[in-house]
Amino acid sequence: MELKNKLGLDGLEFQHEEERISKQKAKRLYDEHILDSFEVGTYAGLQAIHRWLFEDIYDFAGQTRKLNLSKGFFRFASAIYLNEALQQISNMPQETFDQIIAKYIEMNIAHPFLEGNGRASRIWLDAMLKKEIGKVINWAKVDREDYLAAMERSPVKSTEIKLLLEAALTDETEDRTVFMHSIDASYRYEGYNRYKTEDV
């Protein structure tokens, strides 16, 4: 599915500009403390993150998809039931590491946006971890292939993704370098690796 964008670009040229612009916005989330103004752990909070990252790129930034999506053989939550599912996810508890990861897995299954779900939801996940347990994930320490495989299996069994992410937890929640490197790693999972967040 070819998604319309505001930049009037396509192919590799669009991919590079999407990465550059949204990484600039991600950097501002941290440097200007914008992330601190968003709700933590709710779908409204995730929408705010997604809108902030992609509002200059897509008309649908922060908007719940109305189309069904699948990846490989996995079909994400049906658009018909998506609003109800997102309300239930927002209401899930988030007091412990296990509860937060369970919530993150459910949001991945919901996949509420047409594009940019992973990049927005990893920031959303870290905001929950920071608020509730005083830690964040240093995504630079999470291997791309291990992460993608564990997330693919997580709807059936969550042990693997929990162990992988727990091993990368750090209490350096205010470390700018950790944040910037984590954004780079998060984007790399999705195939975006042209720019460093620090340099855009």
Mean pLDDT of the residues in the chain: 96
| pTM, entire model | 0.97
Interval 67-97: pLDDT, tens? 999 888 889 999 999 999 999 999 999 999 9
pLDDT on residue 130: 98
pLDDT on residue 1: 65
Interval 23-33: pLDDT, tens? 999 999 999 99
Inter-residue contact 191 to 116 (CB < 8 Å): no
Inter-residue contact 144 to 189 (CB < 8 Å): yes
Decide if domain 25-199 falls under CATH 3.40.50.300: no
Q: What is the DSSP string of 54-73?
A: HTTT-TTTTPPP-S--EETT
Of 151, 103, 126, give the one whose Cα is nearest residue 49.
126
Lowest mean pLDDT among 62-76, 105-119, 126-140, 170-184: 62-76
For residues 34-51, average pLDDT: 98
For residues 179-188, average pLDDT: 97
Domain boundaries in the chain? 25-199
Inter-residue contact 106 to 116 (CB < 8 Å): no
For residues 53-77, average pLDDT: 94
Interval 4-19: pLDDT, tens? 899 999 999 999 999 9
Q: What is the DSSP string of 141-154?
A: GS-HHHHHHHHHHT
Question: How far is the C-alpha of 34 from the C-alpha of 1, rounded, in Å?
Answer: 32
